[in-house]
A and B are shown apart, each in its own frame.
Chain A
């Protein structure tokens, strides 16, 4: 019998209602449904979440590390794009 690796899935956990899903890690699974089971068992054992997303890692389109300078560096000197001239009101959380 050939030993074939299960495909890799990325796991995203929403820790509570209202927050966005955040990347938590990855699991191997034979298919989508089992990936969700595995994500539940590996990443929500300590009540970390109320909602889970899983997605095949090879479905994610990622930026190329070789293009980092062209992709990200031009934003570095555009200080005027930062909303640093506003006061954040007290009591605003999750900003």
Chain B
């Protein structure tokens, strides 16, 4: 695999993470428990869609075959998506969705920080823009986790269960494959091992404040980055891609 191919694949993974998470959050629009949280969720989803657009557009330029952001988002099949398994998991209840945000954003924050120092100018710029949004997202999800964990007995137990359930999807974030390695070697890309330590430190701080327990390390699911997804992604894509598949090129 050439350095350019690795860069394209890597950029598409970044885009897929942002898009698939955004699509899950969009499912919660008009379904949040409070008006204020409704606004926050929709804002955050739009932030992620904005990031996905920047990454897709860049991937298309690198590839040089005229594929647009919409082509990547709506005209690829499940196996071509490289998003993390964590992000495609169904929303569940408020605590489940929140823990998913929290675990991913703690990781994404450090990933973007590392990308700001990589040798690819364009990724640096996108990361510098995205990190401001994600810093706030993480602050918000941390606040919520503390309130659920340190809230009532019911909210505490539910938050702990959400954390335990999501934990098996976190290993994949830090397992480097050939694309991660190529990105690191050729473009000074993120070092996932050191991000793992920072991530653990950051989430441990919040989890302790939330009076919750960090789950024990256990069997970890993997495959999302390589396109081997859980059964949930197909349904998500079916809904998200329906319009463009039925009416290719439709605009309004």
Contacts and interface: CB of A to CB of B under 8 A. Distances in A.
Interface of A: 1, 6, 27-31, 33-34, 37-38, 40-42, 45
A30 B40 contact: no
Given A29-B36, A42-B39, 11 more contacts: A6-B34, A27-B36, A28-B34, A28-B36, A31-B147, A34-B147, A37-B140, A38-B36, A40-B136, A41-B39, A45-B43
A37 B36 CA distance: 9
B154 A37 contact: no
B143 interface: yes
Interface in B96-150: 136, 139-140, 143-144, 147
Given A6-B34, A28-B34, A33-B143, A38 B154 contact: no
Contacts, number: 30
Interface centre among B34, B139, B147 (most CB of A within 10 A): B34
A42 B154 contact: no
A6 B143 CA distance: 16
B230 to A, nearest CB: 31
Interface of B: 34-37, 39-40, 43, 136, 139-140, 143-144, 147, 154
A30 B35 CA distance: 13
- Give the dominant DSSP class at B's interface: helix
Given A6-B34, A28-B36, A41 B43 contact: yes
Contacts of B36: 27-29, 38, 41-42
B227 to A, nearest CB: 35
Nearest to A45: B43
A87 B34 CA distance: 51
A45 B133 CA distance: 12
Nearest to A28: B36
Nearest to A3: B33
A41 B43 CA distance: 7
Given A6-B34, A28-B34, A37 B147 contact: no
Contacts of A34: 143-144, 147
Nearest to B136: A40
Nearest to B46: A45
B6 to A, nearest CB: 37
Contacts of B37: 38
6 contacts: A6-B34, A28-B34, A34-B144, A37-B140, A41-B40, A45-B39
A45 B34 CA distance: 18
A45 B41 CA distance: 12
Contacts of A37: 40, 139-140, 143
Nearest to A36: B143
Contacts of A1: 154
Nearest to A43: B39
Contacts of B140: 37
A46 to B, nearest CB: 11
